[in-house]
Amino acid sequence: MINRQDQRNPSPATDASPFSIAYPLIILLISVLGLGVAAELTHIHYESHTNPEFHSICAINEALNCETVARSPYSVFLGLPISVWGLFAYTIFAVLCIFMLRQKKALAGVFLAAFSSALVASALLAYISTQIIQSLCLFCTTLYVVNTSLFIIGIFWVRSQHTSPMRLLVSDIQFMFSKLRFFVPFALNAAILLTATLLLFPRYWSQSLFSTLPTLPTGITDDGNHWIGAKNPKLTIVEFSDYECPFCRRAHYQMRQILARHAEEIRIVHKHMPMDNKCNEYLEQPFHDRACEFAKVVECAGKQGKFWEMNDMLFGIQDTVPTEQVDVDDLSEQLALDIAAMKKCMTSADVIQQIGANIDEASRRNIPGTPTYYVGAQPYPGGIPEETLIKYLKR
């Protein structure tokens, strides 16, 4: 006999309402969407680190750029791109939804716990993207919306069970223990797949593309700016750049690759345009907090004959190390520079004057941002296509 007290308080191991296919079916469909977006993000991450000519459809500007986020050190967690962790999560959600549909059993408590964790992760990643990387990835934002939607669905699903989330979670765990014939192999296969991925997934992001650039002739112009490329150029390109700018890093690498293919004809002259109000008086607000420091470091390395080596190390290290963690003393030691001389040089009047002269020139040219390249008086914001340079060479 079932008394009225039992009817009012169903046991934790018993569903409080009939099974409905609506919630797991909706979650399955959203999880499939999440899988597709995570797969595209994995593709963007790989191409951004290995293919300098890659251009994603969501690379719109500095504030909205999937490639900037993908190339950030924050895009990798515990040895795997975050998008790969997303692939695992959405696959697990999809498999469990299929299991629920076959078993006619709701696991609303377990799913709400998982969705809550995904929502917290999304909030943390959104903060890193907007506040630290200072660039937003539209595909990542799509996953934030996916995770928020899953969380909201989870809330409604739990409410439809007419019991507390904690009691529902306990009930779900009890059910899972009663189905060890399914969940033990499932957990083992997931663990084996994750372990294999951690061990075998290529660490393509750990290698700086700048380490692969060929050695070319270098020198200094009459007005004190460093150049690389042809000793007797047919074409001279002037580059205004910022060492903390991710677009500058990518554009400079692309230009250096083009330069390597035309090493006897083209020269690049580097000029500083740090978007940092500590040395750039034309900026009212802080933007790139270490850009002035990095410009000084490169100039001082140039005093010891290592301008382009420090240029490449500073650009390259920010592919794998957050900008705020870059140790310029360590870079100087790696280049076998005189550290005491470097520290003294950083405050020297001639270095500050050289950087200031570049900034003043950029202001006179009304350059809107970095990077900007010039052939004569013709500006090319963001970079110059190789076919355009070939046309110049044929004139």
CA dist., res. 7 & res. 9, Å (int):
6
pLDDT(254) > 60: yes
For residues 58-71, b (16+ Cβ closer than 10 Å) or e, as one string? bbeeeeebbbbbbb
The 10s digit of each residue's pLDDT in 220-239 is 999 999 999 999 999 999 99
> Please, which pLDDT band fits residue 190 given cuts at 50, 70 and 90?
very high
CA dist., res. 41 & res. 25, Å (int):
25
Q: Are 207 and 317 in contact (CB under 8 A)?
A: no
Residues 6+ apart with CB under 8 A from 319: 49, 71, 73, 205, 208, 209, 210, 249
CATH class name, domain 209-394:
alpha beta
CA dist., res. 235 & res. 230, Å (int):
9
> Please, which pLDDT band fits residue 2 given cuts at 50, 70 and 90?
very low
Query: In which element (H, E) is residue 342 found?
Result: helix 339-345
The DSSP bridge partners found for residue 235 are: 266
Give me the amino acid identity at 97.
C
What does the pLDDT read at residue 16? 47
pLDDT(68) > 90: no
Chain CA centroid to CA 4, Å: 58
What does the pLDDT read at residue 344? 94
Q: What is the 8-class DSSP label of residue 179?
A: T
Q: pTM to 2 decimals?
A: 0.66
pLDDT(127) > 90: yes
Q: What is the 8-class DSSP label of residue 132?
A: I
What does the pLDDT read at residue 18? 67
What does the pLDDT read at residue 207? 66
CA dist., res. 110 & res. 92, Å (int):
12
Q: Where are the domains of the chain?
A: 12-206, 209-394
Q: Are 55 and 43 in contact (CB under 8 A)?
A: no
Domain spanning 12-206: CATH 3.20.20.70: no
- Out of 44-53, 207-216, 338-347, the most confident range is 338-347
CA dist., res. 43 & res. 45, Å (int):
5
The DSSP bridge partners found for residue 380 are: 373
What does the pLDDT read at residue 381? 92
> Please, which pLDDT band fits residue 7 given cuts at 50, 70 and 90?
very low
The DSSP bridge partners found for residue 211 are: none
Q: Quote the mean pLDDT of the chain.
A: 89
| First CA to last CA distance, the chain | 99
The DSSP bridge partners found for residue 378 are: 375
Per-residue pLDDT, averaged over 103-119, amounts to 92
